Amino acid sequence: MPTISFAGSIGTRQGLPVIEGLFLGFFAMEVISGAVPALKGPSAVAMGNFDGVHLGHQAVLSRLVEVARKAGNTSVVLTFFPHPMAVTAPERRPPLIQTLKDRLDCIERCSPVDMVVVVPFTKELAATSAVAFVDEVLLGRLRCQDLFIGHDARFGRDREGDIEFLRRCEPRLRLHVLEPIEVAGVRVSSSRIRRLVAAGDVALAQGMLGRPFSLVGPVVQGAGRGQKLGFPTANLAQEGELLPGEGVYACEAEIAQGTFPAAVHVGPVPTFGVQKLVVEAHLVGFEGDLLGQRLRLSFLSRLRPVKTFPDPAALASQMAEDVRAAVEVFAHRHG
């Protein structure tokens, strides 16, 4: 049986959490990456990937904090990085909805949890039995009294740790199974949100996330095609794994100078013979150089598919329509 021992660095409150060399940011909550801490007192633990931190996750976190505070215990989110399938079945690994830093940001914004523990998911962890994980990590190191988990969660070697297994662990810990949430008659899940975003249905994805799906990254040098057409664009080198389906979108663009409506092209640029997928954003009302700045694009609505136009003038005319539509969507959101 493998020993539960994870190499990694430990961040403290207001500290510098790092995993795989990536600085995760500053947080008011305590973020620990790497070694699972040995807590001095009892805790309530929510365990899962929490990719997207969607409405179902938010319900789990809200209930976690409520129960922990009532008992005077520490509220702990136990999450994993990378996604377990990146280790157990890399050929089927899903693209993550958000970066790890965004995941932590969302957890902190949606619920005042005391601590997040980011466990590096390794082959050794994948080979650990569910019994060993419960005994050594949940009960041993985290002193878990209340465990919050999704209805379809599985963990441990060969995914043997299911709800029935956890029920057999009672009364050593109290099990709280959160039932699924539905939006527009559709069950909310990270996999469902990935499919919606990939299909371009960012509006329904927003309903499930409780906020718009977003991309973030630095602005890099582009070809300057938009500038020549009268619509200068910022080319995003996005840091996440999941991209919206090809199309033109109404977005909200956040930069250091403020928030702007944006018309955003995702996909190839067939009018100019460009087959490479690009993310190009025209920020309405912004004048200046964005090169090197960090840009966040929140996707509000898909306006149209990618098209091939007979000439640049026809493309410019359509871009003017796209900009007007994007401004209307932005105004409705902020109206």
pLDDT tens per residue across span 36-79: 999 999 999 999 999 999 999 999 999 999 999 999 999 999 99
- Peptide bond between residue 212 and the one before it cis (omega within 30 degrees of 0): no
Return all residues near 334 (Cβ < 8 A) that are at least 6 apart. none
Q: Where are the domains of the chain?
A: 18-179, 204-334
Domain 18-179: assigned CATH number: 3.40.50.620
Return all residues near 181 (Cβ < 8 A) that are at least 6 apart. 55, 56, 59, 187, 188
The one-character DSSP state at 168 is T
Q: How far is CA 36 from the centre of its chain?
A: 22
Per-residue confidence band for 19, with pLDDT thresholds at 50, 70 and 90: low
Is pTM beyond 0.75 here?
yes
Q: What is the distance between the terminal CA atoms of the chain, rounded to a whole angstrom? A: 58
Residue 21 has pLDDT above 70, yes or no: no
pLDDT tens per residue across span 262-295: 999 999 999 988 888 999 999 999 999 999 999 9
- Three-state DSSP at 6 gives coil
CA atoms of 57 and 145, how far apart (whole Å): 20
Domain 204-334: assigned CATH number: 2.40.30.30
CA atoms of 69 and 90, how far apart (whole Å): 39
Q: Is the separation of the CB atoms in 88 and 136 below 8 Å?
A: no
CA atoms of 40 and 141, how far apart (whole Å): 9
Exposure b/e, 234-244, CB count within 10 A at least 16 = b: bbbebebebbb
